[in-house]
């Protein structure tokens, strides 16, 4: 069990039969009255966010989220296939279960499959990936305003804003949490 007074960002717990993750929290001690905890929670299955207020002594059961390393093999229509690295069993997941978390992941890369009590609800890609730029317009000489960027398409089909000096064929590092260009490799 976890009390609302122990909330931190990223903590997962069960509430009303749903699994929630704390996105933001704030302990409030008003001049009059009892203290309370104001939170912003994300339902990890549906992705919906709600704001809720708790007493610091409210107790909820902590949810155990399983993270398992699996290799992304290929996609076939609306199904994406993953292989367990220990048992070599393949597991198909639907587009609904994945969302857009694979937009920076190439085939044969290892990702973390997130599940709760055997129900898969998401995928955690590697934090940084290195991808080849397959298409981008050339940067023009003299077009060097501070922080100038241009769109570039990478080998997975995703579009990223890159500096003007990045060319087609370059390998770039991308932060998958934000989708931002980090550096040219």
- Model pLDDT for residues 16-48, shown as the tens digit of each residue: 888 898 888 999 999 888 999 999 998 887 778
Q: Rounded mean pLDDT of 164-180?
A: 90
Report the CATH number of the 128-184 domain: 2.40.50.140
Report how far residue 52's alpha carbon sits from residue 41's, in angstroms, rounded to the nearest whole number. Answer: 7
* pLDDT tens-digit series, residues 74-102: 988 889 999 999 999 999 988 877 878 88
Q: Which fold has domain 2-60?
A: SH3 type barrels. (2.30.30)
What pLDDT does 140 receive? 66
CA 113 to chain CA mean position, Å: 11
Residues 66-124: name the CATH superfamily: Nucleic acid-binding proteins (2.40.50.140)
Confidence bin at 147 (pLDDT 50/70/90): confident
Contact 17, 68 (CB under 8 A): no
Spell out the domain ranges in the chain: 2-60, 66-124, 128-184
pLDDT beyond 80 at 62: yes
Report how far residue 76's alpha carbon sits from residue 141's, in angstroms, rounded to the nearest whole number. Answer: 43
Q: Is the dihedral of CA 100, 104, 110, 111 positive or negative?
A: negative
Residue of 99, 91, 92, 95 lying closest to 78 (CA atoms): 95
Name the average pLDDT for the chain. Answer: 88
Neighbours of 52 (CB within 10 A): 12
- What token pair was written down for 101? 């978390």
Q: In CATH terms, are 2-60 and 128-184 the same topology?
A: no
């Amino acid at each position: 069990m976890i009390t609302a007074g122990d909330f931190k960002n990223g903590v997962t717990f069960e509430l009303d039969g749903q699994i929630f993750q704390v996105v933001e929290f704030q302990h409030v001690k008003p001049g009059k009255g009892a203290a309370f905890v104001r939170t912003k929670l994300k339902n990890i299955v549906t992705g919906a966010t709600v704001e809720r207020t708790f007493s610091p002594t409210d107790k909820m059961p902590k949810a155990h989220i399983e993270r398992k390393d699996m290799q992304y093999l290929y996609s076939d229509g609306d199904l994406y296939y993953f292989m367990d690295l220990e048992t070599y069993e393949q597991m198909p997941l639907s587009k609904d279960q994945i969302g857009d978390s694979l937009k920076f992941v190439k085939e044969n890369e290892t990702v973390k499959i997130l599940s709760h009590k055997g129900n898969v609800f998401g995928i955690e890609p590697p934090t940084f990936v290195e991808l080849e730029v397959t298409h981008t317009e050339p940067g023009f000489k003299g077009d060097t305003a501070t922080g100038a960027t241009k769109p570039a398409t990478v080998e997975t089909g995703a579009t990223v804003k890159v500096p003007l000096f990045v060319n087609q064929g370059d390998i770039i590092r991308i932060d998958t949490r934000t989708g931002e260009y980090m550096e040219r490799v």
